[in-house]
Amino acid sequence: MWTFFIGEALAKGLLILFPRRFTNRIRDNTQDMEVLVLRTGQLKSKPKMTFIEGVFATILFDLALFGTTNSFIKFIIRIFTHLQNSWDKPFPSSEVAKTEIQEFCQRLSIQQAPWIWELPIHEYKCLNDFFSRAYAPMYHPTLGSDRIVAPACCTLTRFNDDASMTRILIKGCNYRIEDIGLQPIDDIDQYKKNYAILGYLSPTDYHRVHSPMEGKCIHLSLEGRDTRSASVKFWSGGFNILNDNKRLVVVIEASTGLRLALVIIGGIGVDTITYNANMLGKHVSKGQEISTFRAGGSAIAMFTSQPIQLTSSFSEASNNGMPVEVLVGESIANY
């Protein structure tokens, strides 16, 4: 956990040195944001990011003080990825595992009581094993009855179409839906016309991604395989997250012919997106686990080839761009 202490010390030092306009931006980015919790219909405040994240992510990705494509920023991203990969180092003992995971949970406000995770705390072999943890079966969120469900525990934001997402959110780069890696290519114009739904998974969240609907997996590809991903916190900055970050593109076709493209996006530090390549061409159940992140923040995006009907609760909750907190498997739409 030494990386947290070093990060905090550096962040505090930089905050002292920065001019006021930078520190004001950092404070704004670390303030709580208001989200609507889908399962309760209630508003709540939750942190946008931790203090360490706020300082470094604001400098590097929001303000992009060091640019977006030069060798220096690429070097910085490699360093962050290297530090995150240190989470793969095995714990020397079960006692150390318990101590470090408890501290990790406290820092990131991850639930400890009751213990809802698959393994006893002392049985995780390294920090990344815990980061990519599964729920204990008795605590796994209930699968919704509607045809399309949330693929992850995350905060979802809904846009009416690709054009509105680009206009409202993705302003500072040359994003094109054609460059995500969506298939079939003939569906691109339809993907553009229908809802675009983005989800952010914070480091606190459960980091496994499940199929949002039942159908056949007709496309599965890892795009940006050799890239080092930028932070997924700042979509309106100069970094082209949907086109440049490492991402897994999964297209599922329902029996009705509707195709749903799920883009699973790694953020900074995410060097591994695990998935089963044998899924291609096979039937996928709604709620079936399809991918896991190891380390770092991450995101998802969903596009459909035909119009879908949002559930009344999700439609009302996500109106006017309100971020909506969902659990994996919660109902969000029908077709």
* Structure confidence by residue, pLDDT tens digits, 63-108: 787 877 778 777 777 777 666 667 889 999 999 999 999 999 998 8
- HEC-encoded secondary structure of 273-289: EEECHHHCCCEECCCCE
Q: Indicate the DSSP class of residue 39.
A: T
Q: What pLDDT does residue 262 have?
A: 98
Confidence band, pLDDT 50/70/90 cuts, at residue 8: low
Q: What are the boundaries of each domain within the chain?
A: 2-131, 141-334
CA dist list (Å): 34 to 51, 322, 325? 18, 8, 10
Classify domain 141-334 at the CATH class level.
mainly beta
Confidence band, pLDDT 50/70/90 cuts, at residue 226: confident
Letter string b/e over residues 232-254, b meaning 16 or more CB atoms within 10 A of that residue's CB: bbbbebbbbbbbbbbbbbbbbbb
User: Is 80 exceeded by the pLDDT of residue 3?
Assistant: no
User: Is 90 exceeded by the pLDDT of residue 145?
Assistant: yes
* Long-range CB contacts (within 8 A, 24+) of 167-171: 168/321, 169/198, 169/235, 169/236, 170/235, 170/236, 170/241, 170/242, 171/236
pTM above 0.75, yes or no: yes
* Sign of the dihedral defined by the CA atoms of residues 239, 244, 247, 252, in that order: positive
For residues 53 and 280, give the distance between their C-alpha atoms in angstroms, rounded to a whole number.
36
